[in-house]
Amino acid sequence: MLRHTGFAILWLLAAASAVGITPRPEFDLYTGDSSVQFDAGYRAGRAEALRDLSRNHLAVERYGRELVYAGDEEKILLRRFGIHVKSIAGCLVMPRVAGHAKGYNDVSEPEIRRRFGNALESASREAEMRWEQTRRKKT
């Protein structure tokens, strides 16, 4: 079924270009209008973060290419500050997922800064420095 869906989408794109119709770049073939999807994800992310904060659960959402020291950074954040890191997607991110992460972090990060100052940045720097030190020892 999935293979046929992909073929159908390619066929529709080819047919559209044959008659001079070009798809809008801001339109996502799988989910509809991407700005609507982003906004819906943003609202859902904010709501989830508010719910988590009301339960005293601190977290941030991340997506994209994972840094080599990300695991160490996550351990520092959890052990030292009780902050969880949710990896929600890889490099290819649908608008709804990106919106969710933005909405979630727009609520959670200010609260983390209020409680712990620059904990997110300092944990990242510390993990990066540790990684650099182990890399230097190997050479």
Per residue of the chain (139 residues), give pLDDT as tens.
444 544 444 444 455 555 454 444 444 445 457 899 999 999 999 999 999 999 999 999 999 988 888 999 999 999 999 999 999 999 899 999 999 999 999 999 999 999 999 999 999 999 999 999 888 877 6
Answer yes or no: do 6 and 72 share one domain. no
Please indicate, yes or no, whether the overall pTM of this predicted structure exceeds 0.85.
no
What is the domain extent for residue 20? 1-25
Answer yes or no: do 20 and 36 share one domain. no
Token pair listed for 64: 């994209």
Answer yes or no: do 87 and 53 share one domain. yes
- For residues 40-52, one letter each, b for 16 or more C-beta atoms within 10 angstroms of the residue's C-beta and e for the rest, the string is bbbeebbebbeeb
Answer yes or no: do 12 and 66 share one domain. no
Q: In which residue are the tokens 């601190």 written?
A: 58
Q: Which H helix or E strand runs over 22?
A: none
